[in-house]
Structure 1
């Protein structure tokens, strides 16, 4: 007999009550309730709760598999062990390895990660649908050669799988068929009363069992979800909502006919005014009309008008905000309406994305929950430990693999030891097993010599821990058994079982029962996997990579079952798998496109096209993509009609990874059915009263309040939250910490003159770079030079190394010319290139360890050679049309220049240090004109606005130093600035140059940047050929009157002197501020550039505009405006004197 009814009509309640009544009246009879495997516990609980005596003497709640083992236990079934999914995967892996050469299509693809699991799944599917290997031959008739070859490959692997397990193992798919062979002998089943509930259809092997039950049982009742208005015997098309239910009725009725079983009239459990939605017209309307034809619209009446709608829609910024909102609503409803936690459920189509957020936020809000998800072992600490050490062995001890292993948590290395070793390995470029076996000798630049002993102690400890495993896994002709034994010895040696047990006890002490249960099972799981590998693959020779793949396959299949830790808890689950009991409120989260409907599983051995071709041949397999979409719709209907009081549908605008996403079509369906329904935007409509319900919400309000305090605008909610936190000693301490952290360094108290003197010394030895850093943000300067924080040294070739080599090569080049009394401008092309190559070869000797450490770095040498040749060519071309000649290279002005000392406020002194890359000189009419050049490998451009604010002082400070030094050499002659330039060492891309003009176009791109004198006579000292237009060698263009244009990088002599005088004052001012102990978190912003852009200390200062922090704004100004401000500053100082 079929018992039908729509979702919420009370079908299960109706049949369970009848079953309990009959079982009490007929204690001699056996009653069997058969449900899907994942529903057995919930069903048992429901029936026990309904039982008057809360006990079941003659009622058994079983799944098909549990029924089989009960019958086998009674009748003596097959004694072969069942091969679970992990074992199947290992067998398939073995068959694939053996048959790889014979697989014409799938040979290569089955080497991909996860491909063996896909083949295992296909074999399980074939067995589930009772298709044997021989039948696959018929699939190729009339098919393309490619499809035929693929099916033959599947047949080869499937046959190999069946041959291997024959006489050794059973599979779960074979169990129902074996059950049918002995079920007739079972007294448990014979003349019993059977109830089948919770199924949406039966697979072919399940139908075999149903057929036997129909033949043997006294009565079989099948509960089917079907609208009472539907005709159960009219199957209709698969697009209809209840197609699956009608097909199940049709197939089961056919089995009844074949077994000559009497078919009783269909009973309906639908009765208007009763059932789940008797007091909820909106949810009743949803159930009666969802996914039906007719497009009916819900209209409120006086009787249904109330302030509490049965359906709510919400829009969140991201999944975290969604789950936070759910937690707030649960807390509110528990507090205001007296709901129990068991009255709530949260479901989604993407449990993997939402599970972690639900765990974190619910735990924070102290909401008891059960995550209905068999947890993958892949994230377990022990599994990660094994995977990391295997990765290390295969990747030959690469940096990433070594420290993945050491940080996995089960190594005997402490975090401090791991940090120490990692710092050394990065700085010394240790890579590969061979380098770990040899004594460490390469000393990092920033390290002390006495620390090398410590590094070698750590190296020896590391080898002692891993070397035995290395040898065991790399054994020639090693078998699966030998490798498994080596891994087992390693796990014992590192005391992993003890460590996992200790973790389990910690979880128990912290009342994290789910993690405790996970860790209580994981050691046994790993040992079982190793045993299974030895049992299945045994003495078969195996490469290390293949052994790793076998372990990976086993871990990917691994799941630990978690039992609900309590009775009163929120269920968090999947719309398809999770069985929900009687719930009052359902939160359906993640109702987004791409999640609802769920995307179809990508890939697989058989493509969707393959399956459609098989369907045309009437070959029944798992549902096609089209069928799957309609089935998903039915599961959506079942989920959305579960709650008795409230249904929340929510979606988010962005994914957890920040990717924009759209709401699902389901939101539109709900809006059409309920036009009065408003979508609540949680950004705009999120009252503080709700946010106070959870720690996440309170933290958000607290941060907003702290931001308001900085603006002197604290909200009433913030003040109330502060009062509430003050009532609890623990929360009050937490509040004090937050308040202190939010304002301590923001008060910009500084460290004071005394401490600054102790940190920096009363004679401040300073560089221009350090002054510029202080001007950018005093706090960064304090961390860098006061506390001496450093980024970790790494043995890698960086842009800075590139710049260093080019600087040294250019210095060598210039000094060679000076030593040999040769003129740069007079060199021939071959002479210039040969000298550049010699310079580079000499310099590379100092960097050979780094440059030749990798193939990529070695390839950098040819690029360096090309760049250096091009650079000296361009510098030579820039000298040829002018009168300037190189005077010195890499000139240091630190110790030699008495005037490089500055007297600061408070009696402190500052001595500037620095090296000037190149100084050129021209003597004309008794005047000495100087040009300085600073080589840059970046894109630094002279910006007078940045100079004015102390952010770019290098060129004017260097120019002032050179002028003073030159004046001492020629005290009776005039020494004047000519130009200060940056030369950018680069290889520009030239396009659309006129034929024959390529070199001129390149030279124009390589012009220096900076500032030179604008007087015509001085401009011609740089480019005597310039009459009009743009120069190819200096950043100047002449207008029609022969004067430098407004856009030229030039300034008159008096402006140049005003700039140098202003720089001198700015240097003193910055030095005085340093020595006063200024440490303000005060980064600048100029356009899209900020001091925070490349700052390594952001995690330290935690500068955050969202919390009220503000940049020091600098407005970009024109050159003439900046020079005018500099002149005025100088005039003002003169007047004050």
Structure 2
């Protein structure tokens, strides 16, 4: 009963007044259904609150949504209808100095219930009107009576004693914990599932204790985050008591083993696994050896991995082979399963209705693998306006693209300093750095390192109040994060300025858009089959230009800032998973009139690079030593990663050195480039590199219009498309029964032929 909507409303109301209108308390009250039955409006309000960081006293004044006047008016109208009962509730508590007596608290809560029409809503629920799904009809009236009795008891127990709301909250929680609602008793035979440390039921007839394996139970003692065992023992010897040491933790596990083993009145079953999911052998728990010493006649019983269905002693043992025999497609049972004639007979028995219905629902809920081409065209239009990163999502898993771009699904935006917000803030600093130099008419290379550092710091401090409504000023932890981010941007700018004497390209444009804004560049159009087309849009972080003497074209380099160090993966590139960086350069090459809009005659692609906003750390004997590394080590941490035309090497690095520091290249003694750890490509290879990108984009576009929405996540080593996917709850991909799409290196024809011969000989 402690979680009935009325109990939850009462709890959250007290918490709102006690703790200053916290987000979870306010929306906990709203979601009880006793304030508003409009669940869509509550969800929409919570989405905005999470995205804008609304909490505390902001709810008691008109809310602001800059740039969306209609949304602002709608939210404030809804709050004007919902908030008055809570305002009066707060006014009542403030009249008694937020320290009410028992009668004052009970009266204020009754007034709140009355203003919200709680009794009428519970009566409607009890009659089956607007009924919450998990509660029976007869419960609500009983709950209201018991909650009323709880307030009566509060009045009697604390007639003249004023208490702070936090103290009242503890008293109410104790009272709610003791309230129960009579229900039909459970059947005599029942299964209780619980953890060892919380199982105290003395009436259990049979206890089953699974998972008694080494490292699982007893659990490994948690290591101390700061002190070694020797240091802990030294402090204990000086009478400085700390938490349980490793020996005491193991002793506590032994106590849990005793408790668990003594719960059963008739029979105790302990199980351990012989092998793990990867088929590696496992050891039994040391507690099993201890039991065998206590009971010498105790012999473990080995359970076979697969039991012949003909040896079943209970209908429950036939459920698994029956479901396997009826499973569709690749999930069908092996040949030695239940024969078809027996399956038909078993399927008709009433005892198997429930599991069969579950299986049918599972089969029906499995997502389709493709849409009709006509439906795909209706969904996306004849011309698909999208981004390269969206097409990368399709290459990672077609269903991910469908969920995000077809269904328009997405996670809630939260007012949090998450990695995306941190990276975006540093992007803003770097953009403004270039804009201010542009206004002053100064190229980057004219600045000294000290000037660049000072300017970057000023820009970062100036952006803080305006960035996402002061996201990085909301609390001390975020202010510290902001200082770290500004210092990181300063370190990057310092390094880039220090490289300027050897780098003959000049940062010329930042945040260049194509297909996004009227004043930006037009979208890159790629023709597809059946009259369809891709219209690609995007935002390029930085374009660097160099105008060699005698060349009527400007060499162009595209720079993409990343929050962490990142390399261009050749295997992912081949499968269309890393197209964004080279696509931006290819887009500049293909866009008509693009050069004229940028104010230059023509662009000649020269290179594409990732630049990390956070340097890759070197090694050190201690954490402090690793963090203190400066100079050349910092330069190595900011080394660019990507691909460039080796024919223009002198413009990327004019030092004439055999090994690069800003860019990855190494020249052997014979003048050729080393094949390992080298981002330099010969002119023909570089053009092929850019040309293949368009082929990948066209292939993906055609697959989208073919209706491919299959749940087919990629796997590369231990990396999978599912790891950070926000749509896992929608697709319900199960790697136990559904295979990943493994990315394998593509062999040249000669290599493939040689391998086939070797395999045949073997």
TM-score by length of 1: 0.53
The aligned runs of 1:7-156 (5 Å cut-off) are none
The aligned runs of 1:344-359 (5 Å cut-off) are none
Q: Quote the offset at 1:452 in angstroms.
A: 3.6
Check the 8 A contact 1:930/1:963 in 2, yes or no.
no
Residue in structure 2 matched with residue 932 of structure 1 by the alignment: 558
Farther-moved stretch of structure 1 (497-506 vs 479-488):
497-506
For residues 498 and 717 of structure 1, the distance between their equivalents in structure 2, rounded to whole angstroms, comes to 57
Instruction: Establish whether residue 978 from structure 1 lines up as the match of residue 606 from structure 2.
Output: yes
For residues 1050 and 526 of structure 1, the distance between their equivalents in structure 2, rounded to whole angstroms, comes to 75
Residue in structure 2 matched with residue 1074 of structure 1 by the alignment: 704
Residue in structure 1 matched with residue 630 of structure 2 by the alignment: 998
For residues 769 and 561 of structure 1, the distance between their equivalents in structure 2, rounded to whole angstroms, comes to 54
Residue in structure 1 matched with residue 151 of structure 2 by the alignment: 530
Q: Which runs of 5+ in 1 are unaligned?
A: 1-376, 581-585, 598-625, 655-659, 1126-1137
Q: Quote the offset at 1:844 in angstroms.
A: 4.7
Instruction: Establish whether residue 587 from structure 1 lines up as the match of residue 217 from structure 2.
Output: no
For residues 1027 and 576 of structure 1, the distance between their equivalents in structure 2, rounded to whole angstroms, comes to 74
Instruction: Establish whether residue 900 from structure 1 lines up as the match of residue 524 from structure 2.
Output: yes
Instruction: Establish whether residue 804 from structure 1 lines up as the match of residue 424 from structure 2.
Output: yes
The aligned runs of 1:778-789 (5 Å cut-off) are 778-789=398-409
Residue in structure 2 matched with residue 1110 of structure 1 by the alignment: 739
Farther-moved stretch of structure 1 (719-728 vs 409-418):
719-728
For residues 545 and 938 of structure 1, the distance between their equivalents in structure 2, rounded to whole angstroms, comes to 44
For residues 545 and 676 of structure 1, the distance between their equivalents in structure 2, rounded to whole angstroms, comes to 55
For residues 446 and 108 of structure 2, the distance between their equivalents in structure 1, rounded to whole angstroms, comes to 71
Residue in structure 2 matched with residue 1092 of structure 1 by the alignment: 722
- 1:981-1012 Cα distance to aligned partner (Å, 9 max, x none): 11111155455489998311111111111112
Instruction: Establish whether residue 442 from structure 1 lines up as the match of residue 65 from structure 2.
Output: yes
Q: Quote the offset at 1:952 in angstroms.
A: 0.9
Instruction: Establish whether residue 1019 from structure 1 lines up as the match of residue 649 from structure 2.
Output: yes
Q: Quote the offset at 1:784 in angstroms.
A: 1.4
Cα gap change, 1:495 to 1:578, in 2 (>3 Å): farther
- 1:487-541 Cα distance to aligned partner (Å, 9 max, x none): 23334554556666777888xx99x99x899878655544444333322321112
Secondary structure at 1:455 match in 2: helix
Cα gap change, 1:803 to 1:683, in 2 (>3 Å): same
Instruction: Establish whether residue 954 from structure 1 lines up as the match of residue 576 from structure 2.
Output: no
Cα gap change, 1:486 to 1:664, in 2 (>3 Å): farther
Q: Quote the offset at 1:1037 in angstroms.
A: 2.9
Residue in structure 2 matched with residue 484 of structure 1 by the alignment: 106
Cα gap change, 1:382 to 1:964, in 2 (>3 Å): closer
Q: Quote the offset at 1:435 in angstroms.
A: 1.8
Check the 8 A contact 1:472/1:483 in 2, yes or no.
no
Residue in structure 2 matched with residue 753 of structure 1 by the alignment: 373
Residue in structure 2 matched with residue 227 of structure 1 by the alignment: none
For residues 183 and 543 of structure 2, the distance between their equivalents in structure 1, rounded to whole angstroms, comes to 78
Check the 8 A contact 1:877/1:1033 in 2, yes or no.
no
Check the 8 A contact 1:933/1:981 in 2, yes or no.
yes
For residues 1064 and 844 of structure 1, the distance between their equivalents in structure 2, rounded to whole angstroms, comes to 40
- 1:572-613 Cα distance to aligned partner (Å, 9 max, x none): 799987569xxxxx313448989999xxxxxxxxxxxxxxxx
Check the 8 A contact 1:979/1:1011 in 2, yes or no.
yes
Secondary structure at 2:55 match in 1: coil
For residues 1022 and 501 of structure 1, the distance between their equivalents in structure 2, rounded to whole angstroms, comes to 77
Secondary structure at 1:809 match in 2: helix
Check the 8 A contact 2:103/2:158 in 1, yes or no.
yes
Residue in structure 1 matched with residue 756 of structure 2 by the alignment: none
Cα gap change, 1:933 to 1:995, in 2 (>3 Å): closer
Q: Quote the offset at 1:934 in angstroms.
A: 1.3
For residues 740 and 559 of structure 2, the distance between their equivalents in structure 1, rounded to whole angstroms, comes to 33
Q: Quote the offset at 1:827 in angstroms.
A: 1.0
Q: Quote the offset at 1:428 in angstroms.
A: 3.1
Q: Quote the offset at 1:700 in angstroms.
A: 5.7
Q: Which runs of 5+ in 2 are unaligned?
A: 219-250, 275-281, 752-762
Residue in structure 2 matched with residue 1035 of structure 1 by the alignment: 664
Check the 8 A contact 1:881/1:1022 in 2, yes or no.
yes
Residue in structure 1 matched with residue 246 of structure 2 by the alignment: none
Cα gap change, 1:945 to 1:532, in 2 (>3 Å): same
Cα gap change, 1:793 to 1:705, in 2 (>3 Å): farther
Check the 8 A contact 2:452/2:497 in 1, yes or no.
no
Q: Quote the offset at 1:1072 in angstroms.
A: 2.0
Cα gap change, 1:867 to 1:539, in 2 (>3 Å): same
For residues 722 and 406 of structure 1, the distance between their equivalents in structure 2, rounded to whole angstroms, comes to 51
- 1:28-87 Cα distance to aligned partner (Å, 9 max, x none): xxxxxxxxxxxxxxxxxxxxxxxxxxxxxxxxxxxxxxxxxxxxxxxxxxxxxxxxxxxx
Check the 8 A contact 2:617/2:627 in 1, yes or no.
no
Q: Quote the offset at 1:932 in angstroms.
A: 1.8
Cα gap change, 1:733 to 1:690, in 2 (>3 Å): same
For residues 466 and 974 of structure 1, the distance between their equivalents in structure 2, rounded to whole angstroms, comes to 65
For residues 408 and 493 of structure 2, the distance between their equivalents in structure 1, rounded to whole angstroms, comes to 38
For residues 521 and 997 of structure 1, the distance between their equivalents in structure 2, rounded to whole angstroms, comes to 68
For residues 664 and 501 of structure 1, the distance between their equivalents in structure 2, rounded to whole angstroms, comes to 58
Residue in structure 1 matched with residue 160 of structure 2 by the alignment: 539
For residues 1004 and 406 of structure 1, the distance between their equivalents in structure 2, rounded to whole angstroms, comes to 53
Check the 8 A contact 2:565/2:615 in 1, yes or no.
no
Q: Quote the offset at 1:466 in angstroms.
A: 2.8
| Counterpart selection for 2:23 from 385, 388, 399 | 399
Cα gap change, 1:648 to 1:936, in 2 (>3 Å): closer
For residues 945 and 399 of structure 1, the distance between their equivalents in structure 2, rounded to whole angstroms, comes to 45
Cα gap change, 1:1092 to 1:440, in 2 (>3 Å): same
For residues 950 and 488 of structure 1, the distance between their equivalents in structure 2, rounded to whole angstroms, comes to 63
Secondary structure at 1:889 match in 2: strand
| Counterpart selection for 2:39 from 415, 418, 424 | 415
Residue in structure 2 matched with residue 738 of structure 1 by the alignment: 362
The aligned runs of 1:751-900 (5 Å cut-off) are 751-840=371-460, 843-844=463-464, 846-847=466-467, 849-851=469-471, 854-855=474-475, 856-894=477-515, 900=524
Secondary structure at 2:502 match in 1: coil
Cα gap change, 1:636 to 1:924, in 2 (>3 Å): closer
For residues 1041 and 947 of structure 1, the distance between their equivalents in structure 2, rounded to whole angstroms, comes to 30
| Counterpart selection for 1:426 from 50, 67, 72 | 50
- 1:118-152 Cα distance to aligned partner (Å, 9 max, x none): xxxxxxxxxxxxxxxxxxxxxxxxxxxxxxxxxxx
For residues 578 and 845 of structure 1, the distance between their equivalents in structure 2, rounded to whole angstroms, comes to 61
For residues 1012 and 841 of structure 1, the distance between their equivalents in structure 2, rounded to whole angstroms, comes to 35
For residues 870 and 566 of structure 1, the distance between their equivalents in structure 2, rounded to whole angstroms, comes to 67
For residues 286 and 93 of structure 2, the distance between their equivalents in structure 1, rounded to whole angstroms, comes to 50
Residue in structure 1 matched with residue 223 of structure 2 by the alignment: none
For residues 843 and 480 of structure 1, the distance between their equivalents in structure 2, rounded to whole angstroms, comes to 50
For residues 1087 and 393 of structure 1, the distance between their equivalents in structure 2, rounded to whole angstroms, comes to 52
Residue in structure 2 matched with residue 1051 of structure 1 by the alignment: 681
What CA RMSD, in Å, does the superposition of the two structures yield over aligned residues?
Answer: 4.7
- 1:138-195 Cα distance to aligned partner (Å, 9 max, x none): xxxxxxxxxxxxxxxxxxxxxxxxxxxxxxxxxxxxxxxxxxxxxxxxxxxxxxxxxx
Cα gap change, 1:711 to 1:812, in 2 (>3 Å): same
Instruction: Establish whether residue 1065 from structure 1 lines up as the match of residue 692 from structure 2.
Output: no
Check the 8 A contact 1:698/1:721 in 2, yes or no.
no
Secondary structure at 2:535 match in 1: strand
How many residue pairs get matched? 680
The aligned runs of 1:180-259 (5 Å cut-off) are none
- 1:712-751 Cα distance to aligned partner (Å, 9 max, x none): 5457349656754456697676654333224x51xx2x22
Cα gap change, 1:417 to 1:1110, in 2 (>3 Å): same
For residues 850 and 974 of structure 1, the distance between their equivalents in structure 2, rounded to whole angstroms, comes to 41
